[in-house]
Amino acid sequence: MNALPLWLDVLLALLVGVGTAFALVGSWGLAKLSDFYKRLHGPTKATTLGVGCVLVASALWFSFSRGSPSLHEFLITLFLFLTAPVSAHLLVKAALKLGPREQMPPPAPPPAPPR
C-alpha cells in the first residue's frame, strides 16, 4: 500500500471531521427540535452535507491509493444531493395537507433535576 502525501492526509482528516460534525449536528437537530418543520432541516441540510463530506473523503482516498478514479462514492453523493431535497419537499407538502389540527404536539420538556 502506498503512503499518501501529508497534504492529502490533512485534507481527508478535515473532510471526515467536518462531515461527522455536520452529521452529528443534523442528528441532534432531528432529535431535539420542537416542530416537524424545524426537525426536517436536520437531516436535509446538515446531515446531507456531513455524509457528502465523508463520501468525498472516501472517493479521494480510494482514487489516490489505487491510482485510478473511484466514481462509486461520487455517484452516491450525487444521488444523495438529488434525492434529499426532493424527499424533504414531499414531506413538507404532506404535512401541510394534514393541517395544524392533526399534527403531532411538540415533545414535552425534560423534568427538572431533583434538588
Local confidence pLDDT in tens for the 115 residues of the chain: 568 888 999 999 999 999 999 989 888 888 888 777 788 877 788 888 898 899 999 999 988 888 888 888 889 988 988 888 888 889 888 888 877 655 666 777 888 888 7
For residue 93, the model assigns a pLDDT of 87
Question: What is the helix (H) or strand (E) element at residue 27, kind and residue range?
Answer: helix 6-32
Specify whether the CB–CB gap between 31 and 47 falls below 8 A. Answer: no
For helices 48-66 and 6-32, the axis angle rounded to 10 degrees is 160
Q: Output the pTM of the full model.
A: 0.72
For residue 103, the model assigns a pLDDT of 60
